[in-house]
Amino acid sequence: MMQIGKHRRMDVQALWNAAPARYPELTGRTAVVTGSSRGIGLGIAVRLAREGMRVVVNGRTAETVQEVSTALTACGAEVLAVTADLETPAGVDTLFDQTLTTYGGVDVLVNNAADVKRYHFFEVDDTLLDHFLQANIGGPYRCAMRAARWMRDTGRGGSIINISSIGGLQAHWTGLPYDVTKGALNMMTMAMALELAQYSIRVNAIAPGAIRTYEVPQEYRTDWEQFQARIPLGRAGHPMEIGAAAAYLSSNDAAYITGTILPVDGGVMAQIYPKQSPI
Q: Is 141 an annotated catalytic residue?
A: no
Structural domain includes residue 245: yes
* pLDDT band for position 271 (cuts 50, 70, 90): very high
Structure confidence at residue 9 (pLDDT): 66
pLDDT digits (tens, 9 = 90+) for 63-80: 999 999 999 999 999 999
CA 175 → CA 182, 183, 236, distances in Å? 10, 11, 19
Half-sphere exposure of 184 (CA within 13 A, CB side): 16
> What long-range pairs does 150-154 form, CB within 8 A, spacing at least 24?
150/100, 150/105, 150/106, 151/106, 151/107, 151/199, 151/200, 151/201, 152/196, 152/199, 152/201, 154/105
pLDDT digits (tens, 9 = 90+) for 109-144: 999 999 999 999 999 999 999 999 999 999 999 999
pLDDT digits (tens, 9 = 90+) for 1-43: 444 444 556 899 999 999 999 999 999 999 999 999 999 999 9
Strands ordered across the beta sheet of 158-163: 79-83, 54-59, 30-33, 108-111, 158-163, 201-208, 261-264
Structure confidence at residue 7 (pLDDT): 52
Structural domain includes residue 276: no
pLDDT digits (tens, 9 = 90+) for 138-187: 999 999 999 999 999 999 999 999 999 999 999 999 999 999 999 999 99
Q: At 218, give phi and psi (nearest 5°).
A: -55, -40
Half-sphere exposure of 216 (CA within 13 A, CB side): 15
Q: Which domain holds residue 20?
A: 12-267
Structural domain includes residue 275: no
* pLDDT band for position 216 (cuts 50, 70, 90): confident
Q: What is the mean pLDDT of the chain?
A: 95
Structural domain includes residue 3: no
Structure confidence at residue 1 (pLDDT): 42
Structural domain includes residue 7: no
CATH of the domain at 221: 3.40.50.720
pLDDT digits (tens, 9 = 90+) for 196-205: 999 999 999 9
Please state the domain count of the chain: 1
On the question of pLDDT at 224 being above 90, the answer is no
Nearest 5°: the CA angle 217, 43, 250 is: 150
Structural domain includes residue 92: yes
| Residue tagged active-site, from 23, 103, 178, 248 | 178
Structural domain includes residue 174: yes
Cα–Cα distance measured from residue 267 to residue 260, given in angstroms and rounded to the nearest whole number: 17
Structural domain includes residue 217: yes
Q: In this structure, what DSSP letter does residue 173 have? A: S
Among 214, 223, 197, 207, CA closest to 169? 207
Structure pTM?
0.95
